[in-house]
Structure 1
Amino acid sequence: MRPVPGLTLHAYDAVLDAPGTHRGMPSPTVTLVLPLGAPLDVAWEGEPASRVHQWSTVSGMHTRPALIRHDGWQSGVQLALSPSACRAVLGVPAAAVAGALVTLPDLLARAPWLADLPERLAASRTPAERVAVVRTGLARAVAQDHAATPAALGEALRLLGAGARVAAAAEAVGYSRRRLSTLVRAETGVDPQTYARLARLDRARSAVVDRVRSGATAPRFAEVAAVTGYADQAHLARDWRALVGRPPSEWLREEFPMLQAGPVPAG
């Protein structure tokens, strides 16, 4: 299988003390979750009608948390797909699933490789076997040569994801700001400012998780803000509350057991 830029794949097993709810955070990726043992039970916060209880779930870019209910144990495989990887793997731009929770049958017309994936995963015994099953499927997906994200737009998204201002990203690739906004929305389902905001939040979440897994029980959010592109800790806290529904300290208290248990569905 040739590499798929912008794709992150991992198998997860998280054993917790009791049933609960994991808060999946917004991010600049499309998330494909393939659970084992029990279907994934997920809904957008505040929207019970959005609830999905299935063996496969795809969540598009979103600006609200996904609430993932569990019985104290979660196991499966997760793929995080950048806009370019979404085209290569699912055969559609990320905008096609923006703000949505969909299941694999909704995507089979463009991604037939997904049809038997849950069954083949159910027969796997170890995390390594799970990853190998998904990689075999991905090889079939990328062999289809779906239309790629235009190179200039891909570079603009890279710059926005790294913290560049919208005007600077547009100038770097030779677009007007209006043209860039139109193209980013058509590709991702969100405007450039929102895409950059999601990327910055994702960098902050990763920084917090890294600190927790290295042994820190109380990460310094001022330090996280400084290294991930926020003006200050207050700015980080406002953004976190707006997009996650909790200030970062409260989110960390709720998620701390899950973070210690290892990678879990991101939402």
Structure 2
Amino acid sequence: MIANVDQMPAALAPYVVTLSPYDLGSNSIGVHRGLPSSTITITIPEQDQLEISWVGRPGSPQRLRAGVAGLHLDAAALRQEGCGRGVWLTLRPLGISTLFGVPASTLAGDVADLADVVPTMADLPDRLAACRSWPQRRAVVERVLLESLARHGERANRDGLRATLAVLSATTRVQEAAQLLGFSRRHLSSTVRAALGVTPKEYQRLIRFEATRGRLVAAARTEQLSLAAVAASSGFADQAHFTREWRDMAGCTPTDWMRAEGLVR
């Protein structure tokens, strides 16, 4: 179940992509593969803690009461013991700075506890745990976001960066985006890196990967799945290139991911 942005307060619609409940599987250890995307992800378990590790990275898993993941180009493994339910919130990169006063660049490639990123929201997990239904939880989150927007939203004009990201999203080459914006490639790179913590090319990779994931899901649901067709429509030279890119960013093949998600057998 995903809350439609149209159902949210109008003030939040430019910044919030999804607000939904999730269920990784009750009375067991639910595991979810967090794929790269162009959004900031906030995961708030109903109970217990999250255990988060990065696929292919050395190091011990982090245990968090609520996790905030910045833009990342590799996959994360999220585990939640016991009650596998919670609230899942995704924000556009401008959303984290506008709503919380925190630049997306400070979170890039990493995950942190919500209480450390936004101290005023340290009690949000407990407030959500006390709710008895999803509508109550959604109302609490929306109210918190509106209150935070009132504190941070009017500090800066975000239109310039919003336009820059829109052009990057609509093009496949950084030089083409720079020309359309009237920027030098160097200026574009420094602007995007300072705001997001990734390069313009990395941002375009995230956009393409996200679009490809959507095409895979749509094709699987219509039972007309063709990896070659998805690769071609996503701008890859061939299926082999597509599979290499997916393996690099997701840590598995497209087929393995769809099988794990129950999209194919």
Aligned partners of 2:191 and 2:66: how far apart in 1? Answer: 29
SS of 1:32's partner is strand
Asked if structure 1 preserves the Cα contact closer than 8 Å seen for 2:28 and 2:84, the reply is no
Aligned partners of 1:10 and 1:172: how far apart in 2? Answer: 36
Aligned partners of 2:52 and 2:21: how far apart in 1? Answer: 18
1:226 pairs, out of 209, 224, 232, with 232
Give 1:128's aligned residue. Answer: 135
Aligned pairs for 1:175-194 (under 5 A) are: 175-194=183-202
Asked if structure 1 preserves the Cα contact closer than 8 Å seen for 2:24 and 2:30, the reply is no
Give 1:52's aligned residue. Answer: 62
Matched, 1:37 2:47: yes
Aligned partners of 2:139 and 2:229: how far apart in 1? Answer: 38
Q: Deviations over 1:147-168 (max 9, x none)?
A: 4464233212112223442122
2:209 pairs, out of 201, 214, 224, with 201
Asked if structure 1 preserves the Cα contact closer than 8 Å seen for 2:27 and 2:84, the reply is no
Alpha carbons of structure 1 residues 36 and 211: separation in structure 2 relative to 1, 3 Å: farther
What RMSD in Å do the two structures reach over aligned CA positions?
A: 2.5
The alignment's TM-score, normalised by the length of structure 2, stands at 0.85
SS of 1:63's partner is coil
Give 1:255's aligned residue. Answer: 261
Gaps of 5+ in 1: 261-267
Report how far residue 104 of structure 1 moved: 1.6
Q: Deviations over 1:71-130 (max 9, x none)?
A: 486211111121111111221111011111100221235xx2x13211110011222221
Q: Deviations over 1:32-65 (max 9, x none)?
A: 1111133111111244535222221011111211
Aligned pairs for 1:1-267 (under 5 A) are: 1=9, 2-8=11-17, 9-15=19-25, 19=29, 21-47=31-57, 49=59, 51-71=61-81, 74-108=84-118, 112=120, 114-146=121-153, 147-148=155-156, 150-212=158-220, 214=221, 216=223, 219-256=225-262
Aligned partners of 1:205 and 1:186: how far apart in 2? Answer: 27
Aligned partners of 1:48 and 1:167: how far apart in 2? Answer: 35
Asked if structure 2 preserves the Cα contact closer than 8 Å seen for 1:4 and 1:85, the reply is no
Gaps of 5+ in 2: 1-8
Asked if structure 2 preserves the Cα contact closer than 8 Å seen for 1:84 and 1:149, the reply is no
Asked if structure 1 preserves the Cα contact closer than 8 Å seen for 2:46 and 2:86, the reply is yes
Q: Deviations over 1:213-234 (max 9, x none)?
A: x353x73222222333333322
Asked if structure 1 preserves the Cα contact closer than 8 Å seen for 2:42 and 2:69, the reply is yes
Asked if structure 2 preserves the Cα contact closer than 8 Å seen for 1:41 and 1:68, the reply is yes
Aligned partners of 2:48 and 2:103: how far apart in 1? Answer: 29
Alpha carbons of structure 1 residues 230 and 29: separation in structure 2 relative to 1, 3 Å: same
Asked if structure 2 preserves the Cα contact closer than 8 Å seen for 1:50 and 1:101, the reply is no
